[in-house]
Amino acid sequence: MKKQVALGIDIGGINTPFGFIDKEGNYLAEGHIETQKHEDINDYLKELHLAIEKVLDTIRNSVELVGIGIGAPNGNYYTGAIEFAPNLRWKGVLPLCTLMKEYYPNLPVFLTNDANAAAIGEMIYGGAKGMKDFVMVTLGTGLGSGYVANGALIYGHDGFAGELGHTIVSPNGRQCGCGRKGCLETYVSATGVKRTAYKMMAKYNDPSELRAIPFNDMTSKMVADAAHRGDMIAKYTFDYTGKMLGEALANTVAITSPEAIFLFGGLAKAGDLIFKPTKDHMEMNMLKIFSNKVKLLPSKLDKNAAIYGAAALVWNELKK
């Protein structure tokens, strides 16, 4: 009997990696194409289809493809379309599921945004197995999130639930790419850490290796490395980042009362540097009935997490 596999596709701003994964999480084959080479999305999908088929050829005899899951920026689960993604060259509403179905008319095709896909990935393949209520927080250039309640992802009425990164945590605070001010992701994200490092250099007199680096060259990784070497400005930066995240998570706990909150992405890899202040400020700001109840955990998804998440979307839908 052929092994059932799902195809997970992760449409990123630069690359589109994809992979074939079975229900147990075995990663069977993979490929990728560039995302932004073609002016016309149809040409992009044509190339993607060819690349998929080429990889599928290597395992075709032993597998049965049961569905396609796609994670994409601004991917709307309900409409199956990417809607006004700022990081893609194709503008407006892109009916991705419909377009993919032209190549795979007999397969179910599902789409959601990256953070929701990551949440489902965590639920099917990662640390949230068996959990019915949890929150996934993805820390990259921005801050994404996916909320699971009663065992189901919360898409909301229009498919755009889970925008924790765009809750305003500081009225009239930092300017955000969304056009507003004070959004959580301007504080808690790779970009946020970088901004905070400069705030701390302005505020304190401690010597710091970061003072030699121009804003344009700074990365959150440099701040983390400096903190690990004992740099005080870098440490203040992570403490502040954890404070902002912990306060926001305390409020999010009050709303959905999750069993656990998972942190995923580059920043989450900073370990105790980010987990300790986050946990401290979360507990400090939490309503007493939630004290010491909610686990703050690193994601168990790692390499190819976005592809795992996209493939997990297929298994999660077929389960319904």
Q: Which residues bind its own copies (CB under 8 A)?
A: 83-84, 131-133, 145, 147, 149-150, 152, 154-164, 166-168, 171, 178-180, 247, 250-252, 254-259, 285, 287-290, 293-294
Q: Which is nearer to its own copies, 77 or 238 (CB)?
A: 77
Q: Which is nearer to its own copies, 41 or 149 (CB)?
A: 149
Q: Which is nearer to its own copies, 27 or 160 (CB)?
A: 160
Q: Smallest distance from the beta carbon of 291 to its own copies, in angstroms?
A: 11
Task: Judge contact between 141 and 176, C-beta under 8 A.
Answer: no
Q: Smallest distance from the beta carbon of 219 to its own copies, in angstroms?
A: 27
Q: Which is nearer to its own copies, 52 or 286 (CB)?
A: 286
Q: Smallest distance from the beta carbon of 166 to its own copies, in angstroms?
A: 5
Q: Which is nearer to its own copies, 164 or 197 (CB)?
A: 164
Least Cα distance to 120 among 244, 241, 264 occurs for 264
**Cα–Cα–Cα angle for 168, 172, 175, rounded to 5 degrees:** 80
Q: Would you state the structure tokens that stand for residue 35, as one six-digit string?
A: 């995302």
Q: Smallest distance from the beta carbon of 274 to its own copies, in angstroms?
A: 20
Q: Smallest distance from the beta carbon of 134 to its own copies, in angstroms?
A: 8
Residues in CB range of 63: below 8 A, 6 or more apart: 2, 3, 4, 5, 20, 22, 28, 56
Q: Smallest distance from the beta carbon of 161 to its own copies, in angstroms?
A: 4
Indicate the pairing of strand 81-83 with strand 143-149.
unpaired
DSSP 59-92: TTTTEEEEEEEEE-TTEETTTTEEES-TTSSS-S
Q: Which is nearer to its own copies, 18 or 155 (CB)?
A: 155
Residues in CB range of 186: below 8 A, 6 or more apart: 173, 174, 175, 176, 192, 195
Q: Would you state the structure tokens that stand for residue 40, as one six-digit string?
A: 């016309």
Residue with tokens 């168990």: 300
Q: How many other C-beta atoms lie within 10 A of the C-beta of residue 166?
A: 19
